[in-house]
Amino acid sequence: MLKLPENFHSYSEARKEGFIRLKELKETGKKVVGLFCSYTPTEIILASGAVPVGLCGVNEESIHFAEKILPKNLCPLIKSSFGSAISDTCPYFYFSDIIVAETTCDGKKKMYEWMNEIKDTHVMQLPQGRDGYGALNSWRGEMIRLKDALSSKFNVRITEDDLHKAIKLVNRERKALVDFFEIGKLKPSPISGYEINTVVDANGFLFDTEEKINLLEKRTNQLRNDYESNYKGQASRPRILITGCPTGGVREKIIRQIEELGADIVAFENCSGPRAQKDLVDENKEPYLALAEKYLRVNCSVMSPNPGRIKDMEIMLDEYRVDGVIEVLLHACHTFAIESYRMRKFVTEEKHIPYLTLETDFSQSDTGQINTRISAFLEMLS
């Protein structure tokens, strides 16, 4: 059974409550910036006086709208995101004054061309690798270009002092997030992976960063106390690490089911985990350089080469005492699919840990097959 607090809010509930908060903010004149990826520097958005909000699609209902324009064999996350935008069914897209995107994958960057026809979309040209001074210098230039775009759009002046304050604030948020994630290191874990995944995604619908920090710190302290009182010394179920693609669109049919079938998800080595949070922005450097350095270090599969992901995986497998790895691959996500063999080879041959790959989309058509494969994998671990 899932370990959920009594006052737990589902992702859909948090998203609906966020609609009201964002509408109230807009009525006060607050500007809103929609974004899609962890490469987006939220510090610059906050320094402009605006609030950032995530726009990634997580359901299949909007996909058929996207398929009128986009190919059917495209990543479901891209189609769901674009379908929500063009169907006018996403209040967060509707309330956004500008979209900030980045060239992480071919599907997204071409989708942004169509999105720009609906709403002003600023695309940051993310370097495809990190080697040499050129990549860092180019990415620093993109930070400045974003600052100029938001300054012009909102008719504001973004000072370095504004940016330094935002960097310190977001660093505090990152630390609170990492502390929350690291509750999963306790054995047995007092928190379900389903709660971790939901809380982190739902936090995107809170628009006061101090409120986010306070809620995360409060829940983390509750969980530490709960572990000491109720979990410490108890038997542990198989401990699972999730890797691969973002899991928001498969939260119910994969994340929830793994735990309903008898395991604990203790770590996420994907966009839902600490990958983009564990590394702070240097508060003592020139801010645009510091931001460029930090965001260029994110070990996503879109980077080539990407050896840092293997290093991060090894650390997480050891620190979270993982018994098995389950990789989620979304259809047509080529970068993660190509890295899949390398990740499997490392985990199984060097760390000697069992590994399961689930390739899927946002539909429910493969739910039975997925349940069967998860059950067999967990039985093997037991």
Burial class (CB in 10 A: 0-12, 13-18, 19+), 48: buried
Burial track 64-101 (b if 16+ CB lie within 10 A, e otherwise): ebbeeebeeebbbbbbbbbbbbbeeebbbbbbbbbbbb
- Digit-coded pLDDT (tens) for 233-288: 999 999 999 999 999 999 999 999 999 999 999 999 999 899 999 999 999 999 99
What pLDDT score does 132 carry?
72
Q: How far apart are CA 375 and CA 126, in angstroms?
A: 40
10 Å Cβ neighbour count for 369?
Answer: 11
Question: Token pair for residue 344?
Answer: 């499997």
Task: With a cut of 80, say whether residue 375 has pLDDT above it.
Answer: yes
Enumerate residues 6+ apart whose C-beta is below 8 A from 81: 36, 55, 56, 57, 111
What pLDDT score does 284 carry?
97
* DSSP annotation string for 288-316: HHHHHHHHHT---TTSSS-HHHHHHHHHH
Task: With a cut of 80, say whether residue 1 has pLDDT above it.
Answer: no
Average pLDDT of the segment spanning 300-316? 96
What pLDDT score does 3 carry?
85
- Which option is the CATH number for 11-161: 3.40.630.40, 3.40.50.11890, 3.90.1150.10, 1.20.1270.360? 3.40.50.11890
For the whole model, what pTM was predicted?
0.97
Residue ranges per domain, the chain? 11-161
Chain mean pLDDT for the chain: 96
Q: How far apart are CA 375 and CA 259, in angstroms?
A: 10
Name the 3-class secondary structure at 241: strand
